[in-house]
Amino acid sequence: MIVTAKNRTVPLSLPLGFFLLGEAFFLAFALLFALHPEVLSVPRHPLGLALAHLFLLGLGVGVLLGAMHQLVPVVLETPLYRHELGYLVMFLWGLGVALLALGFALRPTLVPLGGGFALVGLLLFGYAMLRTFLLAPRWNRVATALAWVVFYLVLTPFLGLLQALSQRYGFYDPERLTWHLLAGLGGVFLLSILGVGYKLLSMFTLTHGVDERVLGLLLFAANLGFLGLAMGERLGYLLLLLSYALALYDTWRILKNRMKKALDIGVRHYLLGLLFLGLALLALPFNPVWAALWFALGFVGLVVTGMLYKILPFLVWTHRYAPRAGKEKVPLLKEMLPEGAGYGA
């Protein structure tokens, strides 16, 4: 198949559907948090678990799935394998998140059911991505980051479902909760933001030709760090600090070589998110609760919302106005978003 910009484009309704569902879960998170803010300071509180899954599995993974449906064909230079499967992924994942939140908040018997739906949806997504990866004519380190993210997207709900079933059938092991957190917070969000963020930051700042070898070293160090922490080794924490230092170095190189000198709202969110990531890593050995809050609300929350400020207007402009550009007057991309309102948020 000859790959063109046209056949690499997925319908707007696919990424937009994930984004809108993610926003709906975020609104549910905000409402529950406003009613019960105290639960975030209590480890493993049922309402706290509902909040965590609404924010991370709902908003965070929702935006990630939508972005990957749009970004993977661009990175791999190949069309998605049967992009219509994404709508089934959206249904199963969305139903799973809703049932998980209801289960944690009101009815614990719904937790394994919700986890099962989410796992099946993400397994289907993983299968579609695997088939797409196999079609790629060439490979790069951003593609490697995306492949690792897909792996952890499948592993995280599997470990979570195993944990939920273990409480019911008597083989509960608290260590598996650590594995679940490492796979989700580290494998999914850290690698997706630092890997995909590398590509998006370069695009948003018009930076070309940055050597990807540092990103490859970052991925190697981060994965070894997750494994080390899962095994209780202090070296794992040091490797995560090394990964953070490499991310800062890569970000500095991208900004140093950028053609677009002004930093827009999406890039500023990303940089502030990196600051909260540093705070989270520094706090991890001393106060894991604060580390988790800084990571989730500071790092993940800021970067996800910042990228939405850039991705959503771009998608709408591409699908609605790009075919008419040059034939009639269309709005500029920078006019699609009132940026001042974003800074107020």
Residue 309 CA, distance from chain mean position: 15
Q: Is residue 163 part of a domain?
A: no
Which residues are bridge partners to 325 per DSSP? 328
Q: Is residue 16 part of a domain?
A: yes
- Amino acid residing at 140: N
**CB of 105 closer than 8 Å to CB of 156:** no
As a three-state string, the secondary structure of the chain is CCCCCCCCCCCCHHHHHHHHHHHHHHHHHHHHHHHCHHHHHCCCCHHHHHHHHHHHHHHHHHHHHHHHHHHHHHHHCCCCCCCCHHHHHHHHHHHHHHHHHHHHHCCCCHHHHHHHHHHHHHHHHHHHHHHHHHCCCCCCHHHHHHHHHHHHHHHHHHHHHHHHHHHHHCCCCCHHHHHHHHHHHHHHHHHHHHHHHHHHHHHHCCCCCCCCHHHHHHHHHHHHHHHHHHCCCHHHHHHHHHHHHHHHHHHHHHHHCCCCCCCCHHHHHHHHHHHHHHHHHHHCCCCHHHHHHHHHHHHHHHHHHHHHHHHHHHHHHHHHCHHHECCECCCCHHHHCCHHHHHHC
Residue 1 resides in a domain = yes
Provide the pLDDT for residue 8. 55
Structural domain of 28? 1-138
| 325 φ/ψ angles, rounded to the nearest 5 degrees | -65, 135
Does residue 33 fall inside a structural domain? yes
What pLDDT does residue 140 have? 87
- 302 in a domain, yes or no? no
pLDDT at 63: 93
The pLDDT of residue 315: 78
Task: For residue 290, tell me if it sits in a domain.
Answer: no
Domains contained in the chain, number: 1
- For residue 125, being part of any structural domain is answered with yes
Q: Report how far apart, in Å, the C-alpha atoms of 33 and of each of 28, 29, 47, 50, 106 are.
A: 8, 6, 9, 10, 15
* Burial class (CB within 10 angstroms; exposed 0-12, middle 13-18, buried 19+) of 326: exposed
Output the pLDDT for position 204.
Answer: 82
**pLDDT tens digits for the chain (345 residues)?**
334 444 457 888 899 999 999 999 999 999 999 999 888 777 788 999 999 999 999 999 999 999 999 889 988 889 999 999 999 999 999 999 999 999 999 998 898 899 999 999 999 999 999 999 999 888 888 899 999 999 999 999 998 888 777 777 766 676 778 888 899 999 999 999 988 877 788 888 888 877 788 899 999 999 999 999 988 889 999 999 999 999 999 999 999 888 888 888 888 999 999 999 999 999 999 998 889 889 999 999 999 988 888 788 777 777 777 677 667 777 766 666 666 655 555
In a domain, 158, yes or no: no
Q: How far is Cα 134 from Cα 128, in angstroms, rounded to an integer?
A: 10
